């Protein structure tokens, strides 16, 4: 699976940890920045870069990390075609995939620890969308909001 990663300076370290964790499982991981936690960096460009890679099918999914996960998930959700889910536990991650067909996982580095973040990522990428039925209807409704 191809996964694009992005963060601001606050999410840099957690992004790197989760990226290494998923790469060790055989996923192809691309880092869209930022490249350090020493210099303040906005989460908006990182969210846009990851969203663009997902929309262009250069990545199957995205992972975004900022301090709380809020700003970076809001930014990503402004991009047509993106369903970014801010997850703080494994259950949310599973439901984001199963029920909402989320294509971007967002987390907060100041909210979840590294072990929990890796478990959230495993749960997110271990699930598939339950296509059809009420979930498909709702995802279609979400996508219609972009028109």
Q: Is 66 a catalytic residue?
A: yes
Q: Is 99 a catalytic residue?
A: yes
Could you count the other beta carbons within 10 Å of the beta carbon of residue 6? 30
Catalytic residue among 27, 99, 118, 135: 99
CA-based torsion, 126, 23, 65, 67: positive or negative:
positive
- ∠ CA 61-63-64, rounded to 5°: 140
Catalytic residue among 29, 32, 66, 87: 66
The residue behind tokens 């967002």 is: 106
Q: State the greatest distance between any 2 C-alpha atoms of the chain, in Å, as a whole number.
A: 47
CA-based torsion, 28, 61, 91, 77: positive or negative:
positive
Residues taking part in catalysis = 66, 99
């Amino acid at each position: 699976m191809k996964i694009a990663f992005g963060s601001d300076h606050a999410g840099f370290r957690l992004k790197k940890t989760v990226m290494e964790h998923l790469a060790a499982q055989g996923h192809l991981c691309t880092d869209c920045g930022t490249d350090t936690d020493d210099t303040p960096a906005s989460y908006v460009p990182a969210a846009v870069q990851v969203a663009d890679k997902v929309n262009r099918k250069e990545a199957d999914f995205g992972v975004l990390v900022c301090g709380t996960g809020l700003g970076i998930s809001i930014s990503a959700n402004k991009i047509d075609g993106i369903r970014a889910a801010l997850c703080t536990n494994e259950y949310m991650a599973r439901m984001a995939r199963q029920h909402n067909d989320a294509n971007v996982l967002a987390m907060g580095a100041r909210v979840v620890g590294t072990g929990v973040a890796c478990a959230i990522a495993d749960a997110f990428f271990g699930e598939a969308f339950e296509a059809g039925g009420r979930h498909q209807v709702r995802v279609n409704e979400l996508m219609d909001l972009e028109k």
